[in-house]
Amino acid sequence: MLNRRLTVALALTMAFAAQAQAQAQAQAKLNLGVAIPAADHGFTAGIVWWANQAKKELEQQHPGLKITVKAAASAGEQANQLQDLVTTNKINALVILPQESAALTKPVQQLHNKGVYVTVVDRGLTDATAQDAYVAGDNTAFGSVPAEFIAKQLGGKGEIVALRGIPTTIDNERMDAFKAVLAKHPGIKLLDAKHGNWNRDDAFKVMQDFLTRFKKIDAVWAADDDMAFGVLKAIDQAKRSDIKLVFGGAGAKGMVKVLKDGSDPRIQANVSYSPKFIYDAIKLTAEARLKSEKLAAKTIIPSVLITRENAASFHFPDSPF
């Protein structure tokens, strides 16, 4: 009887050991590649920072998990990096924020066809079959939240201008949402909307043009905090006092600090679209694949109104953005 109990106990011990070993091997097999744009402006600098934060924290939390982060300055460089991630780093999962949607679709599809699990972040591919999951901020809310706030602050009447980002699907989505809200407020006139390319210097030039052409502007939707800083500089240089509200976007730490401190009365609110979503995408993908699970086909990170009252919750002083 004793021998039988010992045999059963030994068998259970071996089974538990085998299960633990299998789990450890499954974890060690997760080799996750991260492909992102290089830090060529504030937002992408934040993307790079949050991606490396994810690497540091998740590798520490999950022994055996390997994360390789690569940043590219162009679509061609990013396509080449994808090949390196497969051939050199032997990845079996990928989180990618594409430099360009169309140019990266085929290279990503090739990896997907080889069995690599793919999570696409923010800038969608032109063919969704090349991916397993999509993670992004809420671009509709990114456009509608500022429009609603501006309309409320202006009491439903006024003249405004808008600065758009780089011509992309997400920029179109934001602008469409912004205009859809304005359509409910016929007393607000959108004088013009031009692309500032999510760039401070480009936005400065666009705003100079607006200031020359329009003698009265009540509010500006800059649609990005880098652009908002360029807009403020142009307004200050022109010594215009008619513009009472400048609404940026994405919650850059400098802009959120201005909002939190109340140091510029023209900055009254913001809308969240933090580069931290790359961290969230990496974490979600890693933890799902460690369990051999899949993410939902689409995960949208909410874009919400940031005011002076809740600004502290959106201020990340250690981030470059």
Query: Residue type at 30?
Result: L
User: If you count them, how many residues does the chain have?
Assistant: 321
| Nearest of 155, 145, 100, 159 to residue 124 by alpha carbon | 100
Nearest to 108 by CA among 100, 93, 99, 118: 118
Residue with tokens 């429009």: 147
Closest by CA position to 72, among listed 91, 51, 93: 51
Q: Concatenated DSSP letters for 192-208?
A: EEEE-TT-HHHHHHHHH
Which tokens belong to 54?
A: 């994810």
Q: Residue 161 pairs with which residues in a beta bridge?
A: 192, 220
Sheet hosting strand 245-247, strand order edge to edge = 188-195, 158-164, 219-221, 245-247
In angstroms, the CA 124 to CA 53 distance is 23
The amino acid at residue 175 is: M
**What SS3 string covers 17-83?**
HHHHHHHHHHHHCCEEEEEEECCCCHHHHHHHHHHHHHHHHHHHHCCCCEEEEEEECCHHHHHHHHH
At 7 the three-state DSSP class reads helix
* Rounded-to-integer distance, Cα 290 and Cα 288, Å: 5
| Distance in angstroms (rounded) separating the CA atoms of residues 279 and 48 | 10
Q: Which residues, including other chains, have CB under 8 Å from residue 70's CB and lie 6 or more apart?
A: 33, 34, 35, 36, 78, 81, 84, 85
Burial of 35 (C-beta count, 10 Å sphere; 0-12/13-18/19+): buried
Supply the pLDDT for residue 185: 98
DSSP letter at 250 equals B
Q: How far apart are CA 197 and CA 167, in angstroms?
A: 8
> How far does CA 83 lie from the centroid of its chain?
24
Residue linked to tokens 């396509």: 79
- pLDDT for residue 319: 81
Alpha-carbon distances, residue 132 vs 124, 136, 288 (angstroms): 12, 14, 12
* Cβ 264 vs Cβ 258: under 8 Å: yes
Question: Is this prediction's pTM over 0.85?
Answer: no
Under a CB-based contact definition with an 8 Å cutoff, are residues 175 and 232 in contact? no
Distance CA(249)–CA(163), nearest Å, equals: 11
Q: Spell out the per-residue pLDDT of the chain, length 321, in tens.
A: 545 554 544 445 555 544 544 444 444 589 999 999 999 878 899 999 999 999 999 999 999 899 999 999 999 999 999 999 999 999 999 999 999 888 999 999 999 999 999 999 998 899 999 999 999 999 999 999 999 999 999 999 999 999 999 887 789 999 999 999 999 999 999 999 999 999 999 999 999 999 999 999 999 999 999 999 999 999 999 999 999 999 999 999 999 999 999 999 999 999 999 888 999 999 999 999 999 999 999 999 999 999 999 999 998 888 888
pLDDT for res 127 = 94
Q: What would the two tokens of residue 55 be?
A: 């690497």
Helices (H), the chain: 2-28, 42-61, 75-87, 101-113, 139-153, 169-182, 200-213, 225-238, 253-261, 277-290
User: Domains of the chain by range and CATH?
Assistant: 12-16+22-137+275-303 (3.40.50.2300), 139-271 (3.40.50.2300)
